[in-house]
Amino acid sequence: MTAMPSLPARRLDLSLDLIARAHATPVPDDPSALGMLSDAELRPGLEAITAGREGHDIWVFAYGSLMWRPEFPVAESRIGTVRGFHRRFCLLQRRFRGTPERPGFVLALDRGGLCRGVVFRLPGMEIREALMPVWRREMRGRGYVARWLPVATEAGTVSALTFLANRANERYAGRLSDAEIAEKIAAACGHAGPSAEYLFRTVEACERLGIRDRHLWNLQGLVAARLRACVPGT
């Protein structure tokens, strides 16, 4: 079970209603905006990262959308901390929650600092079968590299599959200011929805779990201000 939050949730400036009013027009999908790896292309990487780990508990560290939409069976979850990397909006998103003309951002772990998130233990099953859904989701767009990292929890340290920013990929934007990131997030929307919704749901999940992240909190305020400025009557 995930530990109960130790801090009360704060009221966000950003809301789903504000986001919906700012992005009322659906955006069609453009498959050419982001080339996706096939399962056949993904499988060698999955086999390499899982080699020798059969029989071990399978843990996955979540710090963004996996916290509120894991899309894999979960046997146990804990609040956990990864050291040496921090959560940051540093991967451009030209499809799903953005377009080539108005790219949004998604989160990745970048070098330095630490990150609190949720570590999930998957049910006992064949390791590649268990991990393929999350491997496909995170790795097919080439924005991440995967590593097994130690995650500290109150019940002890576990080794968890963790997705880091792929600094060699052209989607990696480097360290932009919060104002620059907020400008793109506020404007971006793809066929999967607005970039601001991804931000909102991640901040909401962190607040619900008692995880305080200054980068996310600053961004939700900046994005809310930009959306209010372009929505009449707010």
pLDDT tens per residue, range 74-119:
999 999 999 999 999 999 999 999 999 999 999 999 999 999 999 9
Q: How many CB atoms lie within 10 A of CB 86?
A: 18
The tokens describing 19, both together, are 């986001």
Q: Is 58 exposed, middle or buried (0-12, 13-18, 19+ CB in 10 A)?
A: buried
Q: What is the mean pLDDT of the chain?
A: 94
Which stretches of the chain are DSSP H helices?
A: 16-22, 39-50, 65-68, 127-139, 178-187, 195-209, 214-230
Residues 6+ apart with CB under 8 A from 16: 197, 200
Mean pLDDT calculated for residue range 113-131: 92
Is position 71 annotated as part of the catalytic site? no
Q: What is the pLDDT of residue 126?
A: 84
Q: Which amino acid is at 57?
A: D
d(CA 167, CA 170): 8
Q: What is the pLDDT of residue 141?
A: 96
pLDDT tens per residue, range 179-228:
999 999 999 999 999 999 999 999 999 999 999 999 999 999 999 999 99
Alpha-carbon distance values, 192 to 46, 74, 118, 203 (Å):
26, 24, 24, 18
The pLDDT of residue 5 is above 70: no
Q: What is the pLDDT of residue 8?
A: 75
End-to-end alpha-carbon separation of the chain, Å? 40
Alpha-carbon distance values, 191 to 26, 93, 194, 195, 219 (Å):
7, 12, 8, 10, 22
The C-alpha R_g of the chain, in whole angstroms, comes to 18
What distance separates the 2 farthest-apart alpha carbons in the chain? Answer: 59
Report percent pLDDT > 90 for the chain: 85
The tokens describing 2, both together, are 């995930």
Of residues 71, 76, 138, 207, which has the active-site annotation?
A: 138
Alpha-carbon distance values, 63 to 51, 134, 190 (Å):
25, 13, 22
Q: What is the pLDDT of residue 234?
A: 66
Q: What is the pLDDT of residue 28?
A: 96
Angle at CA of residue 122, ends 120 and 127, nearest 5°: 130
Domains of the chain: 16-230 (3.10.490.10)
Q: How sure is the predictor about 73, in pLDDT bands with cuts at 50, 70 and 90?
A: confident
